Amino acid sequence: MAQIIDGKAFAEGLRARGDGCRWLRSEDRTQAGTCGGAGGEDPASQVYVRNKGKQTLACGMASFEHKLPADTSEEELLAVVERLNTDPAVDGILVQLPLPSHMNEQKVIATINPDKDVDGFHVVNVGRLATGLPGFVPCTPLGCVMLLKDRLGSLSGLDAVVIGRSNIVGKPMAQLLLAESCTVTVAHSRTRDLPEVVRRADIVVAAVGRPEMVKGDWLKPGATVIDVGINRVPGSEEGKTRLVGDVDFASASEVAGAITPVPGGVGPMTIAVLLRNTIVAAHRNAGLSFDEGSL
Ligand code: NAP
């Protein structure tokens, strides 16, 4: 039976280490600016933004939410981002996606100052990750790598399969694993014989958005499985729902060496890493040296 990788406990530890950066409080200068954008009317986005704000405050930083109505023009949103770019009280900016269809998401992200881009979505940060320069890395994949290194130590030479090639999870995940010297395969909807591809992997990262797609008999015995998926499906009781991942936990946990549960695995890591990235941004923006590996 697989060991359970407890993302909730790891995220709490990460937050506690971030909380140790007392200068942030004493000098009261580090702020996380959250720009809800017009995504603020999407119920799931509202929950994410609220939780991010709450946890930012709990960590001793300030949080500003700019909740804009869905019919906000792109120009108005860009003006808010530009104001935050030059606000010395703000060290981290995130625009909650998805934006409404009348906005160009890439243009909005490209307007964020890359040194305040704590979500790591700006092309400058994408390029920094790809070329091994220090920048900001998207929170969910960085959280996954933290869990993997905590569990496995060195990842060097391991075969990793990432299922999914989105800009926010799959692609940065593959880059991070490559940087850890894994041999990386990126699978997607056109991949032929996915179970056979997955069966080669020491590390499987599933970021697909399809409930319980990856089955236990797809896995190499002892593989480490990171399930990024968050899918709401009908529960056993009428009218109730429950969350499941992209991995069929029941069968996968019979074969894997270790596995993240859903909920309680990758999910809690995302906001914890966002706070970590903001603390890093604050130190860099203030020109203070700081052991970034300690967070
Ligand atoms: P996305 O943008 O929809 O990308 C999904 C990827 O899965 C695409 O690359 C797609 O391939 C691939 N795919 C779809 N069907 C497939 C199939 N049958 N076989 C193989 N690959 C398939 O999704 P995302 O934003 O990366 O998110 C993925 C999942 O992670 C979702 O469940 C999301 O809710 C969850 N998520 C969780 C967190 C967290 O904090 N834990 C954060 C972000 C996302 P193509 O490119 O070929 O279409």
Phi-psi region of 212 (alpha: psi -120 to 50; beta: other; left: phi over 0): left
| 277 CA distance to ligand 1 middle (Å) | 23
Q: Is the CB of 260 under 6 A from ligand 1?
A: no
pTM attached to this predicted model:
0.94
The per-residue pLDDT for 126 is 98
The per-residue pLDDT for 33 is 52
Mean pLDDT per 10-residue segment, the chain (295 residues): 97 83 46 49 74 82 83 92 89 88 94 95 98 96 98 98 98 98 98 98 98 98 98 92 97 98 96 91 83 82
| 163 CA distance to ligand 1 middle (Å) | 8
The per-residue pLDDT for 202 is 98
Residue whose pair of structure tokens reads 């069968």 in the numeric block = 251
Residue type, 96: Q
Residues carrying an active site annotation: 52, 96, 119
Q: Which of 8, 166, 215, 266 to mutate to test the pocket of ligand 1 (most atoms within 8 A of CB)?
A: 166
Q: Is the CB of 170 under 6 A from ligand 1?
A: yes
The per-residue pLDDT for 28 is 44
| 285 CA distance to ligand 1 middle (Å) | 33
Q: Is the CB of 185 under 6 A from ligand 1?
A: no
CATH 3.90.870.10 fits 139-266, yes or no: no
The per-residue pLDDT for 37 is 46
Contact between 269 and 232 under an 8 Å Cβ cutoff? The reply is: no
CATH 3.40.50.10860 fits 17-112, yes or no: yes
**How is the chain split into domains, by residue range?**
17-112, 139-266
Q: Is the CB of 209 under 6 A from ligand 1?
A: yes
| 188 CA distance to ligand 1 middle (Å) | 9
State the burial class of residue 126 (Cβ atoms within 10 Å of its Cβ: 0-12, 13-18, 19+).
buried
Q: Where are the alpha helices (DSSP H) in the chain?
A: 7-19, 23-27, 43-58, 74-86, 105-111, 123-131, 139-152, 170-179, 194-198, 249-255, 267-285
The per-residue pLDDT for 177 is 98
